[in-house]
Chain A
Amino acid sequence: DGGITQSPKYLFRKEGQNVTLSCEQNLNHDAMYWYRQDPGQGLRLIYYSQIVNDFQKGDIAEGYSVSREKKESFPLTVTSAQKNPTAFYLCASGGLADGGTGELFFGEGSRLTVL
């Protein structure tokens, strides 16, 4: 089935460790996005990529890094520089880069907890 797959669904990390969250899509979308969601809050944009080998910082990029080596994949690394990394992370694809309507398709999310 077509869609977006995020892994792992749950992840625990010790302070000072980097972790990488995976996001894969088979929807042939050019654009991919990473959002962070804190309890009771909306979605805040971390990074986005409108085309392979290119990505842009969102509103809260500090302490995060991404790569876009393949169209299907947009992994997010939460580095030790991120001071408050415990959150629910959502990956999405779609967007206006496809010439579409702007609708985003979301994965099921990855919940990161720092111990």
Chain B
Amino acid sequence: GESVGLHLPTLSVQEGDNSIINCAYSNSASDYFIWYKQESGKGPQFIIDIRSNMDKRQGQRVTVLLNKTVKHLSLQIAATQPGDSAVYFCAEKDVNQGNLIFGKGTKLSVKP
């Protein structure tokens, strides 16, 4: 079946470095993608989204890149801070059902 997944389950970076979290998706017809951040014991929080008619979108310290050719999504976090430590999920819109399909998540750990 169609699914959204991640290349790496864990990522460890030094404070101040840039982080790149990757996501692969399989449904070439998906037209909307979201990144969520989930801190331990809490619900996911929206970070940034992107539509399929865009290749790049920037927020505050975060950038999402979409490569539709290889069905790849990435989240870049600039100057990673300890508060960025969390699990990050990508999600794609299921064009058939209208529901979001979530990947399994990448755990980001920031070393001081």
Contact = CB atoms under 8 A, between A and B. Distances in A.
Given A95-B98, A96-B98, A90 B43 contact: yes
Contacts of B93: 96, 102
Contacts of A106: 36, 43-45
A38 to B, nearest CB: 11
Contacts of A6: 43
B44 to A, nearest CB: 5
Given A96-B93, A103-B49, A106-B43, A42 B104 contact: yes
A48 B104 CA distance: 20
B61 interface: no
A45 interface: yes
Contacts of B43: 4, 6, 90, 92, 106-109
B41 A102 contact: no
B34 interface: yes
Size range of the interface on A?
20 to 34
Nearest to A10: B41
How many chain B residues sit at the interface, stated as a range, is 20 to 34
A108 B45 CA distance: 10
Q: Which of A96, A97, A107 has the most CB of B within 10 A?
A: A96
Contact of A103 (B34, B104, B105): B34
Contact of A42 (B98, B99, B102): B102
A96 B34 CA distance: 13
Contacts of A41: 104-105
Nearest to A104: B100
A101 interface: yes
A40 B34 CA distance: 20
A93 to B, nearest CB: 11
A2 to B, nearest CB: 14
Interface of B: 9, 32, 34, 36, 41-46, 49, 51, 89, 93, 98-100, 102-105
Leading 4 A-B pairs by shortest Cβ distance = A106-B43, A42-B104, A96-B98, A43-B102
